[in-house]
């Protein structure tokens, strides 16, 4: 059942939203709230209600998650009020995000564990026109080619038990800015990524390792900044990256990674199993090299899907600065495979929570939408880990995000039917306003 109403949302949803209420009042509302009891403050604060309406719309059953559809599916919710909440209302997306992480960190089952993996990644999606902030012709990962669209840079946590989004920033393509890449607002993706990493460190959370793809691993300046922060990393490299190795004559020579891989004898590679949903066999060689602008020796891993370079169709290159005694072929594949969790996250929030289905244009409004999607995702994750949805609304373990979301939607439908039995006249008036005759 796609229809719902804010008055019929499950109690667990309201309890979650209450954790953010104090961040949604403007100064005038705070003064008024000081003269009234807590029960009346909810009436005085429209942002309080819009926050619930927006999150409820993101979590609802409708396949579309834009504001028009969310307002259409909910009784007593209007498009222009949702739009005002994203574009004009006085609240801070950054403060909402900080509170979200604080809430997760207060519970034993959900708090951030020590030594977690910090995944840095970016994700793009198509967007037509050129009036939305950040839109430009750029590489869009989900379609595997260059097209008109938006790209966001994110940091993500994985600690062996949970996958949790941390921070997000909009990459503003040079074509979307008045002065192009010379515009003061233009920042490269590695610069945005470092600012997001610093936010994690400022919260007092130090990752055990930072996982990055070749877009960041191939950027020496980015690696230098990670090492300045005393962070361990494991990242991808491009095949044309040049490194320095000691040859058979004990002389140092500079060589491309793909040329180096081709020159290595077959016995250099170790057969290794990647334990994913479908186990995969790879062959890995680990070589010590020097890289320009990085002091000391680094270990390079060459990962192939066949035992010889000539027969391999898929070859990846990785670099790490972690203690050499830890770096083994099995450690490389086990650790880097954790990056798959951020891909799972993108798939879930785009497919289930409408990450890319916004109807706003400004950067601030876009970031607000993204953070509200993070809040909706974290709400389901929190209840999946603490077992609340399982106890009341499911007859099986909720091991995945879609399973937990389905249980919550069952709760929404059950509560809405109860509400409908007592408010048929309200629902009939709502349907009539849409041009339907409800019998």
Residue 255: exposed, middle, or buried by beta-carbon count in 10 A (0-12, 13-18, 19+)? middle
252 within 8 A of 245, measured Cβ to Cβ: yes
Reply yes or no on whether the pLDDT at 437 is more than 70.
no
pLDDT digits (tens, 9 = 90+) for 18-35: 999 999 876 544 444 444
CA-CA distances (angstroms) from residue 218 to 75, 156, 291? Answer: 51, 20, 11
Find, among 222, 213, 205, the residue nearest to 157 by Cα. 205
Rg (CA), the chain: 25
Where in the chain are all domains bearing CATH 3.90.350.10? 103-345
**Lowest-pLDDT choice from 175-189, 224-238, 301-315:** 175-189
Q: Domain spanning 103-345: which CATH class is it, in words? A: alpha beta
Taking the C-alpha atoms of residue 248 and residue 189, their distance in angstroms, rounded to an integer, is 39
pLDDT digits (tens, 9 = 90+) for 281-291: 999 999 999 99
Return the pLDDT at 368.
97
Return the pLDDT at 237.
96
What are the backbone angles phi and psi of residue 247, rounded to the nearest 5°? -85, -175
pLDDT digits (tens, 9 = 90+) for 329-382: 999 999 999 999 999 999 999 999 999 999 999 999 999 999 999 999 999 999
Indicate the average pLDDT of the chain.
Answer: 90
Taking the C-alpha atoms of residue 51 and residue 9, their distance in angstroms, rounded to an integer, is 13
16 within 8 A of 382, measured Cβ to Cβ: yes
């Amino acid at each position: 059942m796609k229809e719902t109403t804010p008055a019929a949302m499950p109690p667990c949803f309201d309890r979650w939203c209450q954790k953010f209420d104090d961040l949604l009042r403007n100064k005038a509302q705070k003064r008024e709230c000081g003269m009234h009891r807590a029960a009346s403050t909810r009436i005085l604060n429209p942002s309080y209600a819009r926050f619930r309406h927006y999150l409820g719309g993101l979590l609802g059953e409708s396949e579309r998650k834009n504001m028009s559809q969310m307002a259409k599916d909910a009784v007593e919710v209007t498009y222009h009020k949702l739009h005002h909440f994203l574009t004009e209302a006085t609240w801070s997306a950054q403060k909402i995000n900080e509170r979200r992480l604080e809430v997760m960190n207060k519970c034993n089952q959900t708090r951030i564990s020590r030594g977690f993996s910090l995944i840095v990644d970016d994700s793009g999606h198509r967007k037509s026109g050129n009036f939305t902030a950040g839109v430009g012709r750029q590489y869009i990962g989900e379609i595997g080619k260059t097209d008109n669209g938006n790209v966001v840079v994110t940091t993500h946590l994985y600690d062996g038990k949970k996958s949790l989004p941390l921070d997000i920033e909009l990459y503003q393509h040079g074509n979307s800015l008045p002065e192009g890449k010379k515009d003061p607002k233009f920042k490269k993706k590695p610069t945005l990524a470092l600012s997001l990493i610093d936010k994690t460190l400022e919260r007092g959370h130090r990752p055990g390792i930072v996982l990055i793809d070749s877009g960041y691993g191939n950027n020496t300046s980015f690696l230098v900044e990670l090492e300045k922060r005393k962070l361990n990393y494991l990242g991808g490299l491009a095949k044309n990256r040049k490194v320095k190795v000691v040859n058979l004559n004990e002389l140092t020579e500079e060589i491309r990674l793909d040329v180096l891989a081709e020159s290595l004898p077959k016995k250099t590679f170790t057969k290794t199993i990647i334990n994913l949903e479908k186990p995969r066999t790879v062959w890995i060689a680990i070589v010590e090299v020097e890289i320009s602008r990085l002091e000391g020796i680094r270990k390079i891993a060459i990962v192939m899907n066949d035992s010889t370079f000539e027969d391999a169709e898929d070859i990846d290159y990785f670099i790490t600065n972690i203690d050499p005694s830890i770096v083994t072929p099995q450690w490389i594949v086990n650790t880097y495979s954790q990056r798959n969790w951020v891909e799972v996250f993108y798939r879930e929030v785009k497919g289930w929570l409408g990450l890319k289905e916004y109807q706003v244009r400004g950067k601030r409004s876009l970031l607000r939408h993204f953070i509200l999607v993070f809040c909706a995702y974290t709400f389901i994750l929190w209840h999946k880990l603490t077992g609340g949805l399982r106890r009341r609304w499911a007859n099986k373990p909720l091991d995945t995000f879609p399973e937990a979301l389905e249980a919550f939607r069952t709760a929404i439908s059950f509560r809405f039917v109860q509400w409908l039995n007592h408010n048929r006249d309200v629902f009939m008036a709502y349907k009539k306003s849409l041009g339907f005759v409800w019998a």
